[in-house]
């Protein structure tokens, strides 16, 4: 059975989509077609979307799921007139909160993802710049300013995790790749000299060998870089280094970047800046 779910908002749609995807992910036996519709912020757009929802209901033979965070009452009424099972996030949760807090909500469009306080916004931007500047061991002299330093073999997820930590939590994350240049003469991987003063900030990433080989094959097919033997050797040496140096680490194979980041924050005891 295929059902269609609409995530509708008069702002970015991020809140509706995030909550909607989280809820619908619990229904593994259903095939759900997900459609995000941001900036439905006037009557004309609402009427056009209501027609699309109506046509979708006819095509599917089932009413769509409608998850919205629409503030404007007039726009919400039009969307409510379309056939569908509706989850109105704001009306569901704001009214009880108003009762508990004994005050009325401002019902401001786009409030959740607005810039808001300048210091919070600038902290986010500064953290993203730090992650970009310190990607792949680019500027090790800045590691004294890092909140955390991710280490691991090439293509194990260091860069996306660093950027997510910066963008979502304002954490200054650097990352350093473990390569053959960091091996002793006998081929044993050692902790790079640039990382020694910052051992307390290190957090390792590892990954399933087959998954790593597949990712590397997309970048450099039929190369030593993506061979199973090479990937196996690098992963085994990295994990041995983590254990020897008592560096906490996480396997990124089956976790999303969101899960990796939040687990890392919990294990490392990092403080979110927002």
Binding residues for ADP: 152-159
Which residues sit in the known binding site? 152-159
Q: Which residues of 240-259 are buried (b: 16+ CB within 10 A; e: fewer)?
A: ebbeeeebebbbbeeeebee
Q: Which of 239, 209, 241, 208 is nearest to 227 (CA)?
A: 209
Distance (Å, whole) CA 191 – CA 171: 23
Inter-residue contact 82 to 40 (CB < 8 Å)? no
As a whole number of angstroms, the distance between CA 40 and CA 74 comes to 11
Distance CA 208, CA 153 (A): 12
Longest dimension (CA), the chain: 73
């Amino acid at each position: 059975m295929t059902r269609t779910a609409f995530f509708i908002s008069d702002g970015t749609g991020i809140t509706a989509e995030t909550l909607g995807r989280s809820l619908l992910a619990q229904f593994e036996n259903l095939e759900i077609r997900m459609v995000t519709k941001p900036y439905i912020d006037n009557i004309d757009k609402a009427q056009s979307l209501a027609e699309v929802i109506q046509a979708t209901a006819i095509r599917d033979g089932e009413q769509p799921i409608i998850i919205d965070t629409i503030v404007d009452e007039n726009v919400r009424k039009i969307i409510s007139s379309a056939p569908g099972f509706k989850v109105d996030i704001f009306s569901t949760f704001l009214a009880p909160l108003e009762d508990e807090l004994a005050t009325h909500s401002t019902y401001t469009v786009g409030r959740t993802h607005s810039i808001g306080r300048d210091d919070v916004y600038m902290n986010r931007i500064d953290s993203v710049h730090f992650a970009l500047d310190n990607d792949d061991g680019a500027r090790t002299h800045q590691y004294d300013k890092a909140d955390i330093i991710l280490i691991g073999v090439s293509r194990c997820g260091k860069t996306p995790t660093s950027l997510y930590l910066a963008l979502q939590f304002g954490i200054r994350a650097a990352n350093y790749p473990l390569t053959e240049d960091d091996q002793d003469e006998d081929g044993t991987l050692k902790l790079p000299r640039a990382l020694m003063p910052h051992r307390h900030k290190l957090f390792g990433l590892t990954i399933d060998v087959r998954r790593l080989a597949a990712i590397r094959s997309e970048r450099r097919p039929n190369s030593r870089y993506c061979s199973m033997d090479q990937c196996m050797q690098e992963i085994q040496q990295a994990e041995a280094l983590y254990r020897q140096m008592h560096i906490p680490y996480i396997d990124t194979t089956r976790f999303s970047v969101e899960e990796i980041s939040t687990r890392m924050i919990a294990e490392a005891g990092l403080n979110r800046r927002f």
